[in-house]
Structure 1
Amino acid sequence: MGKVRINLINSLDFYEKCLLGKVNENSFRYELMQPMKTMWDYLNVPLKATQPNGYDVVMASEMLGIWTPRKSIQQVEDYLPELIESRIFDEYQEVISKGMDAFEKIGYSIPLEKIDITILLGDEDSQEMKVNKGYSGFGGIPGYILLMAVPNDFNKKRLKSALAHEFNHNVRFTFEPFNHGDVTVEEYIVLEGLAECFAEEMYGKELIGPWIEDFDQEEMEYSIEVIKEGRKTKGFGEVAAYMFGDEVAKRQGYSPVGLSGNAGYTIGYHLIKKYLANSNKSIAEATLTPTEEIVSVSKFFDEPHLQRIGSATTDL
């Protein structure tokens, strides 16, 4: 297969129309989201609900923290210049090309014809945006990436790193597909650890995402033990509590398991660090390695606490 094409959905034109008062919910559906319809179809999200106020792409976008025309146009006025100033619209192609180069170097031809990317304004009122310092992304369907931000001084310089993170998900899922109903805690922490370590290698530790927490030794030890005991737990609802922590679990209706925020992301990051050290593989090679092998070679859940925690905390 030849080089993967990189296609940016033109969200800027949509936001410019917003400022002119020329958009509504249907514009959002059929101008901004229609180009990503295949992705939404995979997620069983219709562009428009069959019943009034039913579940559709507008509601799903709001749940992800994306600004929609149901919210104030003032947000577009306030944040669009900041999003443009971040230069992500100029640099997205460099990010994906650099990421693809890493896999070309190890001889992996990414089995995609193109990757569609949409860069969107987040909703400043969204709790999803607030807990992630105003930015987030979705790369769970190979060939499609969403990046959303309520631009601020913290996240504007991290958008390239976030895009690299989501690109890694795209590649990982071409190798080891994500089964929403059967995903395990172990698979999810490896998935997120790989993506953040990949982004870190591309853009540096100083631009690491806020989902990697700086736990002290006691918190690390405790979190590792909870995740170790629950690492074979299956199903997104059950797994989410391990990934996001008790506060998010309670808010989203999941059963808490006694973990701090972003525990799964943090433990996954350190597990991948341990795997890379033990295997001498590159992060691109690790991305194309089965979860069970990564966990086994990392010995992360097998080593004495002080050994694995000591090496982990020095990485932050």
Structure 2
Amino acid sequence: MTISLIDSASGMRRVLTADEQDRADLIREFWAPMAGMYHFVPGGVDMATVHQQNFGFRPDSAAIEQVREGLDTLVAADAWTRVEKALADGVTALASARPGVTIPDLTVLLVLGDPTSKHFVDEVQGISAFGGISGYIAITVWPSSCVLDRLEAIAVHELHHNVRYSPGGVVWDPRTVTVGEQVVAEGLADIFAAELYGDAGYTHFVRDETRADDQVLAKVAGGLGITGMADFAAWVLGDSSARLFGTEPVGLPTGAGYAAGARLVRAYLDATGTTAAHSIHTSASDILRIAMPRLGLTADAPH
């Protein structure tokens, strides 16, 4: 398999030095290799809109100097080389744990986020990434010291998702997928990253008290059987994201699904003596059936 990291540093530099009216087209240009991520959308999508939906930096002049400084910080941190090496290391770890696992060729985009978005900077602390479509990983960051320290972990978290939902793995159907699947997937991906990078593997916008809160765990457990993607933001990301995306909050803090997922997956791994790398294709129902009683939970697991 091959890992193709888009030269978005050069692409973003072109955007940031262009006249304002030309910037949207230049954003489309460096996002263009990711178009296959939306193969299921008739007629395709506008990649400049995708950039915005992923919390990408705004092409107007409001924060352009701040974005230039952010790009300089990413380049100085050798971010692209680090992400590529982390993905290669993650591929090796998965192939070792699951010989014969299907790992697709990867097209990977690392892009700067919008420093003027309070939700992006403060609530999710400068990270928005997506690896759920086989063969594509998009990582949007603001280069705080915490994000820079976690670059490798962020990359392999998305790699775990990507391989889980690639051919031979778990089938993702947006109409029938459960909250339980998403929660388990986030737990598996975080713990896989922790297997490689220690505590840096755990998603940093989840507060320590959220991770340890039994009421949060019980609340998320009560929603595991909910079907369809419409309510995922509330149950996985929390109330703040639910409000941003126009869905009904359910009374959960930011990152609640990640916190619950990590506890559920850890209970499963402890019971079975296996790893998140080896469990990449294990169904959510199998994991929850073993994990939930160990955590004193009785809610129905998704089918």
Mark yes or no: TM-score above 0.5. yes
Q: Does 1:61 align with 2:51?
A: yes
Instruction: Tell me the equivalent position of 2:107.
Output: 116
Take 2:96 and 2:129, find their aligned partners in 1: how far apart are those partners? Answer: 26
Q: Is the contact made by 2:15 and 2:27 (CA closer than 8 Å) also made in structure 1?
A: no
- Cα RMSD after superposing both structures: 2.2
Post-superposition offset of 1:102 = 1.4
Take 2:132 and 2:42, find their aligned partners in 1: how far apart are those partners? Answer: 13
SS across alignment from 2:125? coil
Instruction: Tell me the equivalent position of 2:300.
Output: none
* Residues 71-126 of structure 1: CA deviation (Å, up to 9, x unaligned): 54313321111111222212222211111111221343343451001111111122
Counterpart amino acid of residue 134 in structure 1 = G
Q: Is the contact made by 1:7 and 1:116 (CA closer than 8 Å) also made in structure 2?
A: yes
Q: Is the contact made by 1:286 and 1:294 (CA closer than 8 Å) also made in structure 2?
A: no
Post-superposition offset of 1:207 = 5.0
* Residues 48-78 of structure 1: CA deviation (Å, up to 9, x unaligned): xxxxxxxx32223212211242454313321
1:244 to 223, 230, 237: 237
Structure 1 residue runs of 5 or longer lacking an equivalent are 48-55, 306-316
2:281 to 280, 288, 292: 288
Pick which of 274-283 and 173-182 moved more.
Answer: 173-182
Instruction: Tell me the equivalent position of 2:178.
Output: 184
Q: Does 1:135 align with 2:134?
A: no
2:44 to 40, 43, 46: 46
Post-superposition offset of 1:8 = 0.9
Instruction: Tell me the equivalent position of 2:254.
Output: 261
User: Percent same amino acid among aligned pairs?
Assistant: 27
TM-aligned CA distance change 1:73 to 1:41, over 3 Å:
farther
Counterpart amino acid of residue 132 in structure 2 = G
Take 2:92 and 2:38, find their aligned partners in 1: how far apart are those partners? Answer: 28
1:212 to 187, 202, 206: 206
SS across alignment from 1:204? helix
Counterpart amino acid of residue 120 in structure 1 = V
Q: Does 1:232 align with 2:221?
A: no
Instruction: Tell me the equivalent position of 2:24.
Output: 25
Aligned length: 291
Take 2:75 and 2:42, find their aligned partners in 1: how far apart are those partners? Answer: 31
Post-superposition offset of 1:129 = 4.0
* Residues 9-57 of structure 1: CA deviation (Å, up to 9, x unaligned): 111111222343264211211x21111111133366834xxxxxxxx32
Q: Does 1:172 align with 2:164?
A: yes
Take 2:10 and 2:109, find their aligned partners in 1: how far apart are those partners? Answer: 12
Q: Does 1:95 align with 2:93?
A: no
Instruction: Tell me the equivalent position of 1:86.
Output: 77
Counterpart amino acid of residue 39 in structure 1 = M
Post-superposition offset of 1:140 = 1.1
SS across alignment from 2:165? helix
Counterpart amino acid of residue 150 in structure 1 = W
Take 1:191 and 1:117, find their aligned partners in 2: how far apart are those partners? Answer: 20
Instruction: Tell me the equivalent position of 1:12.
Output: 9
Instruction: Tell me the equivalent position of 1:308.
Output: none
TM-score (norm 1): 0.85
TM-score (norm 2): 0.88
SS across alignment from 1:186? helix
TM-aligned CA distance change 1:140 to 1:303, over 3 Å:
closer
SS across alignment from 1:230? coil
Q: Is the contact made by 1:138 and 1:146 (CA closer than 8 Å) also made in structure 2?
A: yes
* Residues 255-305 of structure 1: CA deviation (Å, up to 9, x unaligned): 22222221111100111111110010121111121111111122x256437
* Residues 153-202 of structure 1: CA deviation (Å, up to 9, x unaligned): 12111111101100111011121132223221111110100011011111
Take 2:295 and 2:70, find their aligned partners in 1: how far apart are those partners? Answer: 47
Post-superposition offset of 1:138 = 0.9
Structure 2 residue runs of 5 or longer lacking an equivalent are 298-303
